[in-house]
Structure 1
Amino acid sequence: MRSDYWDQPAFETIRPRRLVAPVVFNSPHSGRVYPERFLAMARLDHLSIRQSEDAYVDELFGRAPHLGAPLLRAHFPRAYLDVNREPWELDPTMFVEPLSDRFNTSSPRVAAGLGTLARVVAENKPIYRERLTLEDARMRIEGIYHPYHAALQKLLSESVAKFGLGVLIDCHSMPRLGRHGERATPDIVLGDRYGTTCAGPLVDLVETIFASAGLRVARNRPYAGGFCTRAYGRPQHGVHALQIEISRHLYMNEVTLEKNADFDAIKSLVERLIITLAGIDLVALAGISTLPEQAAAE
């Protein structure tokens, strides 16, 4: 089956002219290029199908390459393919053919309809008119998912080789938590898989930057970090991973998906975060003494 992105890139690596920091920014859910074939398979209108997007997150972090750190961003939408899942986390009810034991068909994410190929978008709205074929899944996973993760691994390996340390910042947005006016609902959620994927002082630094702007910051609840955080975060081998969730109401209208008046302020705050991470000695901050050769072996 020919790729739905045969005539355009499915994702993009934006590199700095000069790599100055061991930080890699990843925006896997902000893609908004919807292939015509996919839209024809969907039962949702164009606005409804976009409800799963981490809309504009790639723009919020877009200054990273100008400040010395690479940015990997998806152009494909999350409703089409979710690279923050295991490669074959599939819902058997979505496919014409039966799925063998080699597929992970029983994860909580699959049960929620949010596997590698999602069954639903936000508010549990089904995406597809009809069941898919496994050939379609292979086209997306073998043709896009695996190359995407190869690109991410390459960026982290380059960081480790140059600095002796790699830091993955996995960039996301989340629906507003709680009802309007409810007390103590977080604006930012930092996920480090309960302290297992990133050095504590690094997480403390990121929290301080957001909190100093008057935002409420929570850790690991309700988002502890997805597949990318879990798969790449290996602090004992010099590779750290931290997921950042930014509440969408801070910078956009969650219904119309239009940027709001505070978009530039949030973008400036994210830029301050990038500048801080690029300007400090992260090796000393993380307390890492791992040699590059050891880290690269992971």
Structure 2
Amino acid sequence: MQQTEPFVFNSPHSGRVYPDAFLAMSRLDRTSIRRSEDHYVDELFAGVIQLGAPLLAAQFPRAWLDVNREPYELDPRMFDGTLPSFANIGSMRVAGGLGTIPRLVAENMDIYRGRLSVEEGLSRIERVYRPYHATLRRMIAQTHVQFGKAILIDCHSMPANIRVAGGNRRPDMIIGDRYGVSAAHDLSHAAVSILSSLGYNVVRNKPYAGGFITEHYGRPARGLHALQIEINRGLYVNEDTLEKTAGFDLLKADLGEFAGEMMAHVREDLGDDRLAAE
């Protein structure tokens, strides 16, 4: 494709190719192990390619390796052996079972029958995690060189029962910008406004403000902006059968319109200088 817009889209959790060796290690059946997928998010955003923006999508499942974590957020309880000294074994995500090599899928279900070898965990990071981030980093850098700015949209889905703290409100979408740190305010405001105008209930940063990818790649002062979008799965998928529902096609069309309007907003309303400087 020819890139004509300063956007990069990324879907790090939609992978659904489960290695046989991994399934053999797991205590979960083939449906349960998919509970932490961002189901079909890569397909929901596939239209951005025709709009002139690249889309990077993981093929490997999040339950096997989570690239929206630091490279070595590892739980020593999962491994038969000693982790390297540089591993981050004390993060909140590790404590919650959701490190780089996750211990749990959604609903707190243990993935593995037994412990993994340290070599197995480190091999996934070296063979897959590092090349994935090298590719994403290159795409963002090339975009920045070509356009003088780069806007990363990190695409995710969330369970249908998610509520905003302090009420019973169930958002359709959540825009995360690390509480204003990872992207210019104009971009966050535009994203919320565009999605709201399409009829969706949209909130910002709560309960999802953005993960490692949003935090790591968002550098607004350098013209590098990162937004995370979380989409309520109840809009488009049956969470019991994991099959698409009748809402899928409408949502996909709306997300294509959202992407196009975001591109137009950057192209027409903000201009190079403002986005590069904020």
Bucket of the pairwise TM-score, normalised by the shorter protein: over 0.9
* Mapped partners of 1:77, 1:86: distance in 2: 17
Asked if the contact 1:61/1:270 (under 8 Å) is kept, the reply is yes
- Offset at residue 184 of structure 1 (A): 2.3
What secondary structure does 1:225 align onto?
A: coil
Structure 1 counterpart of 2:59, which letter?
H
Mapping 1:107-118, distance limit 5 Å = 107-118=91-102
Asked if the contact 1:20/1:278 (under 8 Å) is kept, the reply is no
Aligned to 1:284: 271
* Equivalent in 243, 246, 250 of residue 258 of structure 1: 243
- Offset at residue 209 of structure 1 (A): 1.6
Q: Does 1:223 align with 2:225?
A: no
What secondary structure does 2:9 align onto?
A: strand
Aligned to 2:127: 143
Number of aligned positions between the proteins: 272
Aligned to 1:74: 58
Structure 2 counterpart of 1:85, which letter?
R
Mapping 1:1-298, distance limit 5 Å = 17-176=1-160, 177-178=162-163, 183-282=168-267, 284=271, 287-290=274-277
- Offset at residue 254 of structure 1 (A): 1.1
**How does the TM-score come out when normalised to structure 2?**
0.94
Greater shift in the superposed pair: 272-281 or 101-110? 272-281
RMSD: 1.5
Aligned to 1:13: none
- Offset at residue 262 of structure 1 (A): 0.6
Asked if the contact 1:202/1:285 (under 8 Å) is kept, the reply is no
What secondary structure does 1:103 align onto?
A: coil
- Offset at residue 104 of structure 1 (A): 0.3
* Mapped partners of 1:263, 1:155: distance in 2: 28
Distance 1:230 1:35, change over 3 A: same
What secondary structure does 1:129 align onto?
A: coil
Distance 1:266 1:285, change over 3 A: farther
Q: Percent identity?
A: 53
Structure 1 counterpart of 2:228, which letter?
Q
Runs of 5+ consecutive residues of structure 1 not aligned to the other structure? 1-16, 291-298
Runs of 5+ consecutive residues of structure 2 not aligned to the other structure? none
